[in-house]
Amino acid sequence: MIVGAIGLIYGFLSAPSSIEDVKEIIASQEVHEEGHAAAEETTHHVDGVGVDKSQELAATGAENAHSDEDAHAEHMLHQLQNKPWAATYVAAFFFFMIALGALAFYAVQYASMAGWSPVLYRVMEGITAYLLPGSIIMFVLFVLSGLQFNHLFIWMDPEVVANDEIIQGKEAYLNVPFFLIRAAIYIAGWNIFRFLLRRNSLRHDEVDHNRYYRMNFKLSAGFLVFFMVSESMMSWDWIMSFDPHWFSTLFGWYLFASLFVAAITVIALVTMYLKSRGYLPTVNDSHIHDLAKFMFGMSIFWTYLWFSQFMLIWYSNIPEEVTYYVTRIEDFGLPYFGMVALNFIFPVLMLMNSDYKRINWFVVMTGIIILVGHYLDIYTMVMPATVGKSWFIGVSEISAVLFFGGLFILVVFNALTKAPLLAKRNPFIKESEQFHY
């Protein structure tokens, strides 16, 4: 199909240039001297018992204590060395979470026996096709981190841990082998569920009974249970442990809101793209309207969680918790608050009106803004702990997004070409085709 070909060409066009870019940057930075993590170590020396001080305060403290410029330059260097890794990580995670969120949304549709959405099932399945490559890439990144190729996760560095009592206390959970085992369990679980759901959905087209549909219903319910637990733990492992001293009990939900709204947005965008090419004749305004309602609602849900997390920590003002926001507000003011504006104010004002939710270009525009906003959301989750003050959105960030975006589009549109775009024997397909709000 033409769409697949376009995706393919785009993927190939964006892929080589960006890989070279990333390598170039890494190469140019490796010219600098070695001496990893020394700065971060000193950070934790000063932390000592480490109960009260923020990393950022401690880092400046360390710099002041040493009071020589070398230490600062070294600190900068490590942050910059982390930067392409972190950029890759953010982009890889961003597209991975879209695939995961799409799978969750798909499972919700099945488990709730939704009548409006079956015409979109194949689109959702197509998006979840990126789950396997995306999760493998994530796992490779974890293994590389675990083998000390980079210093994204400072708790993986034995020298850091040796000087940090708090991380030592968490070692039973935060250690490399267990971390990798957990990641393998989540990834295997999600992919098995995804594989079975997709297989049953395709088989269902060919038979004359509804057994596969019922099987998918049960699988979806099972997946949602597994997903909610594994997603929270994934958010602690993969994102929250960047700041190993900090914790938030809301973090799993917060990340969930982010990945869910990003996934729904991508579903809406892909649907509208395919429809504009004439591949989805059964999708009407009302389906777009419903997806836009989800985008609107989930954006508000995300803001609610963002604010809940922020306000409780801001109000209680406990040093070990509040550091998270100190770094983000002081060093990441623009992206941090800019992203709240993009993720909340923009969707609210744009999608509030019922009629606007049916106007395609309105939804597309808002969708793009939401995606940018949630990229920045992940960015501000990862960057402060890995890159610190030396952040900027440069070649590595943009090319990483292009690379993974290209790969994502390639995989997704390839998967879309492999099956008919209408799940024609779904028991609710007639209701869905006639869906009218």
Partner 1 sequence: MSSKVIHAIYTDDDLLMQAVKQTREANYHIEEIYTPFPVHGLDKAMGLEPTRLAITSFLYGLVGLGVAISMMNFIMIQDWPQDIGGKPSFSFLENLPAFVPIMFELTVFFAAHLMVITFYLRSKLWPFKQAENPDLRTTDDHFLMEVSVSNHNVEKMSKFLSDTGALEVNLINK
Nearest-angstrom CA–CA distance, 86 and 21: 15
**Candidate segments 91-99, 212-220, 304-312, 406-414, binder of partner 1 by CB under 8 A:** 304-312
**Least distance (Å) from partner 1 to the CB of residue 437?**
10
Which one of 13, 140, 188, 311 is in contact with partner 1 (CB under 8 A)? 311
With beta carbons less than 8 A apart as the criterion, state whether 258 and 302 touch.
Answer: yes
Nearest-angstrom CA–CA distance, 76 and 84: 14
State which residue, 9 or 352, has the beta carbon closest to partner 1: 352
State which residue, 249 or 317, has the beta carbon closest to partner 1: 317
- Binding to partner 1 by CB under 8 A, coded x per residue (else -) over 349-368, reads ---xxx--------------
Residue 132: Cβ-neighbour burial (10 angstroms; 0-12, 13-18, 19+):
middle
State which residue, 315 or 392, has the beta carbon closest to partner 1: 315
**Least distance (Å) from partner 1 to the CB of residue 391?**
24
State which residue, 229 or 352, has the beta carbon closest to partner 1: 352
What is the full DSSP assignment across 56-106?
A: HHHHHHHHHHH--HHHHHHHHHHHHHHHHHHHHHHHHHHHHHHHHHHHHHH
Q: Which of the 8 DSSP states describes residue 241?
A: G
Question: Judged by CB under 8 A, does residue 195 bind partner 1?
Answer: no
Q: Other C-beta atoms within 10 Å of 362: how many?
A: 17
Nearest-angstrom CA–CA distance, 189 and 282: 33
Which one of 276, 314, 337, 430 is in contact with partner 1 (CB under 8 A)? 314
**Least distance (Å) from partner 1 to the CB of residue 24?**
43
State which residue, 230 or 248, has the beta carbon closest to partner 1: 248
Which one of 67, 177, 316, 361 is in contact with partner 1 (CB under 8 A)? 316
Which one of 315, 334, 392, 420 is in contact with partner 1 (CB under 8 A)? 315
Which one of 307, 337, 345, 430 is in contact with partner 1 (CB under 8 A)? 307
**Candidate segments 115-123, 188-196, 308-316, 396-404, binder of partner 1 by CB under 8 A:** 308-316
**Least distance (Å) from partner 1 to the CB of residue 355?**
9
Nearest-angstrom CA–CA distance, 8 and 20: 19
Nearest-angstrom CA–CA distance, 22 and 260: 29
Residue 182: closest CA among 224, 128, 151, 142: 142
What are the C-alpha distances in Å from 225 to residues 20, 42, 199, 203, 219? 41, 43, 20, 24, 10
Q: Which residues bind partner 1 (CB under 8 A)?
A: 307, 310-311, 314-317, 352-354
